[in-house]
Amino acid sequence: MSVTDRRLTRRGEATRARIVETAAGLIYAHGVARTNNEAVRSAAGVSGSQLSHYFPDKESLLRAVLRWRADAMMGLHQTPPQGPPDSIAALRSWADSNLTDETVRDGGCSFGSLAAEVMKSGLDLNDEIAGGFDRWKAQLREGLTAMRAAGVLRPDADLEHLAYVLMAAFQGGMLLSQGARDVTPLRNALYGAIAYVETFGNA
């Protein structure tokens, strides 16, 4: 994992972070294959030497981007100020906040579409992808657990199952919506998944 874990001064860490964020943005917009070192370099305002200093090869940079994206996803997928969606209403507002035209047209799920491309790239980054999805699942389960504790969901509701359903609806909906350049598929997928969660409710 690069030179990272060595002694990095505050300045060094800032530069490294700037590189990662810049790369993440470019990759989101244009994909991995069409994002080369030079583009990252110039967009981040960094010389080539620095890029290869922090990230000796493309795989190490991609690993950092993947992790950064996963972190960002954790922050993104929570509607209540603190923590993941913990009520049907919160789930709905979570869904709606992702039903924007920009999200759909600009590249889908910032983590999922990247993961899809990386998985086909032959690079050894599957652990990072699996880890990201796992963390996301854990966060969703957290919210679902709160819902069950609050009596919104029945005690016998399978939270792991519901978390999978929500994630798949999100990722699949994003893919379909990207293809159709229209939020309709994503909306249907998310609303359907949430309605399914509701069938495990105490209503």
Partner DNA sequence: AGATAACTGGGCTGTCAAGCCCAGTTACGG
Partner DNA sequence: CCGTAACTGGGCTTGACAGCCCAGTTATCT
Which residues contact its own copies by CB under 8 A?
30-34, 107-108, 112-113, 115-117, 119-122, 126, 129-130, 132-134, 160-162, 164-165, 167-176, 178-181, 184-186, 188-189, 191-193, 195-196, 199
Q: Please report, as residue ranges, which positions from 43 to 72 form the binding site for DNA (by CB under 7 A).
A: 45-50, 52-53, 56-59
Residues in contact with DNA, counted by CB under 7 A, come to a total of: 27
Could you tell me the end-to-end alpha-carbon distance of the chain, in angstroms, rounded to an integer? Answer: 50
Q: Measure Cα distances from 95 to 59, 163, 171, 183 in Å.
A: 33, 14, 12, 11
Minimum distance between the CB of residue 149 and its own copies, rounded to whole angstroms? 22
Cβ count near 67 (within 10 Å):
17
Q: Which stretch binds DNA (CB under 7 A): 3-11, 76-84, 95-103, 149-157?
A: 3-11
Tokens of 10: 């505050």
Contacted by 133, from its own copies, DNA, none: CB < 5 to 8 Å by type: its own copies
Q: Which stretch binds DNA (CB under 7 A): 33-41, 86-94, 109-117, 174-182?
A: 33-41
Task: Give the range of 38-46, 104-112, 146-154, 170-178 binding DNA by CB under 7 A.
Answer: 38-46
Q: Which CB, 36 or 47, lies closer to its own copies?
A: 36
Give me the least distance between CB of 66 and its own copies, in Å please. Answer: 11
Q: Which amino acid is at 177?
A: S
How far lies 109's CA from each of 23, 73, 83, 151, in Å?
A: 16, 9, 20, 31
Alpha-helical regions (H) of the chain = 10-30, 37-44, 48-54, 58-76, 88-97, 101-106, 112-121, 126-149, 159-180, 184-198
68 binds, among DNA, its own copies, none (CB under 5 to 8 A by kind): none
Nearest by Cα to 105 from 199, 9, 177, 1: 177
Residues that bind DNA (CB under 7 A): 3, 6-15, 34, 36-38, 45-50, 52-53, 56-59
